[in-house]
Amino acid sequence: MSEHNGHILSVKLLTAVLAVLLLLTFITVAATRVDFGYLKVVVALALATTKSLFVILFFMHLKYEDRFIKIIVFLCFLILAIFIGMTFLDVAYR
């Protein structure tokens, strides 16, 4: 059964990912204390998306999963994006 022991993440890599996440958190806080107006939401969400990519790829191990799991995770977020996009088309043209 140990064919699955395959990929073990090193403490070093995990620590580096945590460092990136903490850094991005402080950048988010600093960036949103500056008044960008409407861009603020865009900046905050872009940084949050970057953070979640690090969490999904490394902490959640997706980088090392097989193609099938990668594709369905992508599809899940695609469906969410369509869901949000359609709602906004409705709100914008109401």
Partner 1 sequence: MSNTHVHKDYHGAKLGMWLFLFTEVLLFGGLFVLYSVFLSKYPLEFHEAGKELDVVIGTLNTVVLLVSSYFVALAISFIQRGDKKKAVLFTWLTMAMALMFLVNKFFEWKAKFSHGIYPTSPHLADLPHGENIFFGLYYIMTGLHGIHVVIGMTVLGFMVNFLRRDIITQEDFVKLENAGLYWHIVDLVWIFLFPLFYLVL
Residues in touch with partner 1 (CB under 8 A): 1-2, 4-5, 8-11, 14-15, 17-18, 21-22, 25, 28-29, 32, 40-41, 44-45, 47-48, 51-52, 55-56, 58-61, 65-66, 68-69, 72-73, 76-77, 79-80, 83-84, 87-88, 91
CB of 69 to partner 1, least distance (A): 6
Q: Among the residues of 34-66, which ranges form H helices?
A: 39-54
Chain-centroid distance of CA 28 in Å reads 14
Quote the tokens at residue 48.
Answer: 């949050």
Closest distance of CB 27 from partner 1, Å: 11
> Directed axis angle between helix 11-33 and helix 39-54, to 10°?
170
Q: At closest approach, how far in Å is the CB of 39 from partner 1?
A: 10
DSSP one-letter code for 65: S
